[in-house]
Structure 1
């Protein structure tokens, strides 16, 4: 597999994503391959333009400007799936949900739940560590207007599928928002997970029990930690805390 100037393996097509994801036997290998992906031209152009132009308040920083891998240990029993990195958050810092207001919400909630060692996530070297939870996104590149296309979602889905498959103790997936909820269903189908019919609609607090490849698997819906939801009160801290408390309860029951 060819490597770019920074040493990351390069993937340039949807078929290449399928092969690269399937061939990743460890999370560290998967994360490296995610970081070199160039399979979606629109997203590559956008993320690199943002990294070049920068926001005025971050003009002195070097942006990551790449796809953003997941974060958390391989023995995690809880997964958290978001939408995509923010242009001046994960696309800047190189760590999922790091350096933006959405990250302020999710990592503070994980800290309150005892799943993170600190309530903030501002940079890769800030000392953050997660316990029993892996955080990732359905799409790994920052998209224009925070809106990936269905084609981009589908191209990216093998990365998510492989990431979840490499978590052998996974028992609960907290899905942030309707986009992630929709993106997760074909991933589960590909993993051979029997799905209910009709498929449950997304909603905050929705709970779906499935027979996962390694045991019981529960999906929990939560409104996304976007500013649109948190600023308007559609999602409150107690609401998010309740979902994570339920996730911990379900994970501990195994």
Structure 2
């Protein structure tokens, strides 16, 4: 139970962050002015926390919330075209209860998967600065540490997320190879656990099948589910499902058989 409460507490703290003035101004301006199609909505307009169970064995890492997606709904990848593609694929692989994600109260449940991002606020032009990325990193490090007892695999969507996440894995207790592995679609890297000495004391109380400090992490690269990538078919639904299925199997999660 303690881990559950810790992740819930982290999500609450993330939601109140005001560390990056440019992002605070932008997310709140968008929430005030809205988009005509969503004029009736009360926008979330705050940092968007991760979404999914606290004992997830698979983590999906994106880039940042969309101005009229997560910044409107308050949930990762919810309410925009990128999310439509991602959640449909998760559902087809058997990792989500439904293929659509429109609002926080739509009943969507994820099975063994959590979704997060290295930047929790919607950035102008979908481009966080390196400084904003680095300022937000401690949230991801904390999330990884809390998920560590059960986490077995991670899918990173896009090169920005890959560059942002690698230092976070290192800070959270996994060894990132040097030189750092390059991002590519279909990349698969095993991150070994760092020596037990640094993390054994905090993890012993959470150990349920040997020391969680010893879990290696299977890291997968996947093109981002951006409209640009899906419209040009640089990323097809089949490619996305393929990476999610392989990662789910590496995480020990049951998947739905291939359709047809």
Q: Would you call these one fold, judging by a TM-score over 0.5?
A: yes
* Cα RMSD (Å): 1.3
Q: Is the 8 A contact 2:62 2:158 kept in 1?
A: yes
1:172 pairs with 2:144: no
Deviation readout 1:157-209 (Å, 9 max, x if unpaired): 11111111111210101000001000011112212322212111100000000
Residue of structure 1 aligned with 2:40, choices 60, 68, 93:
60
Moved over 3 A (4+): none
Residue of structure 1 aligned with 2:68, choices 80, 84, 88:
88
Q: Is the 8 A contact 2:63 2:117 kept in 1?
A: yes
Residue equivalent to 2:188: 207
Residue equivalent to 1:12: none
Residue equivalent to 2:141: 161
Residue equivalent to 2:9: 29
Residue equivalent to 1:236: 236
Residue of structure 2 aligned with 1:122, choices 77, 97, 102:
102
In the aligned structure 2, how far is the partner of 1:54 from the partner of 1:202?
Answer: 34
Q: Is the partner of 1:31 in helix, strand or coil? A: helix
Q: Which ranges of structure 2 fall in alignment gaps of 5 or more residues? A: 194-212, 254-260
1:25 is displaced (CA, Å) by: 6.5
1:108 is displaced (CA, Å) by: 0.6
Q: Is the partner of 1:211 in helix, strand or coil? A: strand
Q: Is the partner of 1:26 in helix, strand or coil? A: helix
Residue equivalent to 2:218: 218
Residue equivalent to 1:101: 81
Residues matched between the structures, number:
230
Q: Is the partner of 1:166 in helix, strand or coil? A: helix
TM-score when normalising by structure 1:
0.88
1:214 is displaced (CA, Å) by: 4.3
Deviation readout 1:17-53 (Å, 9 max, x if unpaired): xxxxxxx971100010000000000000000000000
1:196 pairs with 2:177: yes
Q: Is the partner of 2:53 in helix, strand or coil? A: coil
1:210 is displaced (CA, Å) by: 1.1
In the aligned structure 2, how far is the partner of 1:25 from the partner of 1:93?
Answer: 23
Q: Is the partner of 2:216 in helix, strand or coil? A: strand
Q: Is the 8 A contact 1:169 1:214 kept in 2?
A: no
Q: Is the 8 A contact 1:67 1:91 kept in 2?
A: yes
Deviation readout 1:94-120 (Å, 9 max, x if unpaired): 011000000001111110111100000
Residue equivalent to 1:19: none
Residue equivalent to 2:245: 245
In the aligned structure 2, how far is the partner of 1:98 from the partner of 1:114?
Answer: 18
In the aligned structure 2, how far is the partner of 1:183 from the partner of 1:109?
Answer: 24
TM-score when normalising by structure 2:
0.86
